[in-house]
Amino acid sequence: MFRLWSNSHQDRPENDTLHRESKVKELKVAIGPLSGRSLQFCTDACFMRYLEARNWNVDKATKMLEESLKWRSTYGPEEIRWREVAVEGETGKLFRATFHDRQGRSVLILKPGLQNTAAIDNQMRHLVYLIENAILNLPEGQEQMAWLIDFTGWSLSNSVPVKSARETIHILQNHYPERLGIAFLYNPPRIFEAFWKVVKYFLDAKTFEKVKFVYPKNKDSVELMRSYFDEENLPTEFGGKATFNYDHEEFSKMMLQDDAKSATLWGFDDKLQLVSKGHFGAEVAPEPVCIAPSAS
């Protein structure tokens, strides 16, 4: 009996792989022929993310992916350039760190207490731009990113509207499935509980499980976060040892470099020329910079 169980158990990884490959083939057939950017977007890894998000149900994954392709064709996330959303980043309320977590995932740092604009549409474009940027900077073989959310200065008076939070969750869950690996909410004030009670209902079960609350005086939650991040890279505002001050000008230079990478990737070299010539604002020369400690 033990031998039978053992053999069966050992076969599972191979069977799982074959099962997933079969599902990917089914999804490809269901989606049908693709061209242009849609073809470039729909890699095997992409198909697997959408299937995973819908528990490998091909019909549900097909519907989800079709809606994302329609959204991408109209919203144009890969066409957004830093010049168009730079005003949103002036306070450092949302930016990509230059270190990765222990699993090699890109890290987005969010500081909702530094909200500086009121236009929700542009806030969402800024968010989408940085999600795309985080994906652009993933190492080979890594599909996910991590979020670090610092609640310093946060209050109900300066918090993002529920509408913005709902739209953020909608975009992340429906158009970037399985891209979020973990999200740490660091030291949220007690009053945040009221806001969270509303927002959490927009989260699906998988996303909800990825959201972790960290309190500096709670040893278990601190240890959990440190299991994902090297203390030497983690900024002091998250309990780490790295001293870091957001510099908007330096970050903008880095984003212009990444705009060049993105333009090449998606075939928008002609649009990049408009950006580099300052058609979206004063020219900033893209020079190599480091805005936070590199991962060791």
pLDDT at residue 271 tops 60: no
Q: What percent of the chain is predicted at pLDDT more than 70?
A: 84
Helix ranges (H only) for the chain are 2-31, 36-41, 44-53, 58-75, 82-85, 120-136, 162-175, 192-199, 205-210, 219-226, 248-266, 269-276
Residue 227 corresponds to which tokens in the numbers above? Answer: 């299991």
pLDDT in tens, 93-137: 999 999 999 999 999 999 999 999 999 999 999 999 999 999 999
Domain of 150 in residue numbering reads as 78-276
Same domain, 200 and 217: yes
CATH number of the domain enclosing 65: 1.10.8
Same domain, 97 and 196: yes
Same domain, 116 and 21: no
Same domain, 102 and 248: yes
Least confident of 173-177, 194-198, 239-243, 272-276: 272-276
Same domain, 60 and 121: no
Residue 174 corresponds to which tokens in the numbers above? Answer: 């429906």
CATH number of the domain enclosing 213: 3.40.525.10
Same domain, 48 and 96: no
What is the pLDDT confidence band of residue 257, given thresholds at 50, 70 and 90? very high
Same domain, 216 and 184: yes
On whether residue 291 sits in a domain, the answer given is no
On whether residue 56 sits in a domain, the answer given is yes
What is the arithmetic mean of pLDDT over 222-245?
Answer: 94
pLDDT in tens, 277-287: 444 443 344 43
pLDDT at residue 11 tops 90: no
Structurally, the chain folds into a number of domains equal to 2
Residue matched to tokens 């979206």: 280
pLDDT in tens, 205-228: 999 999 999 999 999 999 999 999
pLDDT at residue 58 tops 70: yes
End-to-end CA distance of the chain: 48
Q: Is the pTM of this model over 0.95?
A: no
Same domain, 58 and 87: no
The confidence score (pLDDT) of residue 154 equals: 84
Same domain, 169 and 32: no
